[in-house]
Chains A and B, each alone.
Chain A
Amino acid sequence: MNYVVAGIDMGSQSTKVVILDGDRILAAVTLKTGESADAEARQAMEDALRQSQLELEDIQNVVATGTGRTNAPFAQKQRSNASCLARGARFFFPKARTVVDAGAESSTAIRLAADGTVEDMVTNDRCAGGSGTFLDNMSQMLRIPLGELGAESLKATRAEKIANKCAVFAESEVISLVHRAPPVPVAEIVAGIHESMVDRLFALAQRVGMQSDVVMCGGVAKDIGVVRAMEARLGGHVSVPDDPQIVGALGAALFAQQT
């Protein structure tokens, strides 16, 4: 029997489960139910098992990560966010040296040594300013689906600058921009919102020092506008996995293979 393992990432807004066999990802699930973390984890695991056509008994080892990892059902062990993100990022991009994970409520920048070990990291989980929640709120306010926000930002030829760093005040600022006479094109406002996001993420990443390959992951990395703006700020390429949200869970699964 192959050594099949699972990694669970209990995030603040969603739970991710990855089932791994060797270097084959058998299942990857991201679940946002808003229910209790426990119920969500069980549901995510159930979905992942169904995806991989396995039973729970087939999973030999489970490692948990994420903000809610101490309450993760199924898990035999827990590993830190940073180490799981590093492992997961290196799986997709073996030359990764900087990992920028931008989630719903927290962002983390990690610097990796040449051998992939974590050398330094910094997290912001105190301020919604550069977080996925910031984008989410703007999306709701502007009535542009979150998945389309990035594309909208790329339509603009210039970005309307948003002075406020605070997510709450920035929202009021955007409202006044929307109502300005003459009106500011929405694409330019959205571009400005993306600029603000990247301001924060870039500043965070600079604190650990950015070195290529630079990898972005987390829900915010699904936004093509953020990625492009980050590349423009960096003056270089930013690598993003096809499914950026599962990187932490994948890293946890990789750790589960070792123990």
Chain B
Amino acid sequence: MKPAVSPLAPNPAPAAAPAPIADRDAALRRLLDKYRIAGEGRIVADGDGWALATPAGNRALLPWRCERRFIELRRLVESRTLEDVSTLRFAALDHAGSRSLRAQLLRELDLCAFVAGAEVVSVFAVCDRERAANVVAALANGVRASVECSVLLPAGNRPVDRHEIIARRGVGSDRVVDTQVPQASIYAFGAGGERRFTDTDAELYGLGEDDVALVRAAMAVLQGAPVAADWEERRRRLQTQVAAVFQSDQTRSRVQV
């Protein structure tokens, strides 16, 4: 017969949501402490992108490569859930104060390679100065991509993006069929109108999606994670690709990259 067990004491307080994190550098330090990762750094803007400023110098960050939805889209291709990818259709609309056109192009061109598993090898672009760019790209594995980038969204509007993969078997996307804009997790309808909330990372609860990706990317760099192994070189290559976009527009020709 088992010995009697004293009943559990009642929980003195009901489960409460953690306090939202507001500071991404503090969030990074907390994660580094939790997982005992050596190193330190601050996330800083760096030209048309982001870097982790460390005592040894700046390290390039490609935060979208740590964003869950892009990891899952890539997994759809890697796992051959989608078979024989033909075309990518990517779009990113934002306002100029949030992200430059070049930063958008850098991100979206890298996402083409990240999701499809092959490098961009040529671009034909038509641009409206530094406001909008429409790119038809070819990848090394024969996949084609259309990339629409624009910073014409007026300030105060939420950015809109879309990433769709079209394959011989299946279509994958980060947008629901029959929708045009990102969905939110919570819609709060109050006297002051509608508020929306999308929280995707419990450990980093309170940070927005972009900041979550930055913190995860910084952590990957300091961890020496494989995903971050070649980000310095990748960033240089991507800057060459972005330059090729504008060269293509100026020369009205397809440019090999």
Q: Do A and B come from one complex?
A: no
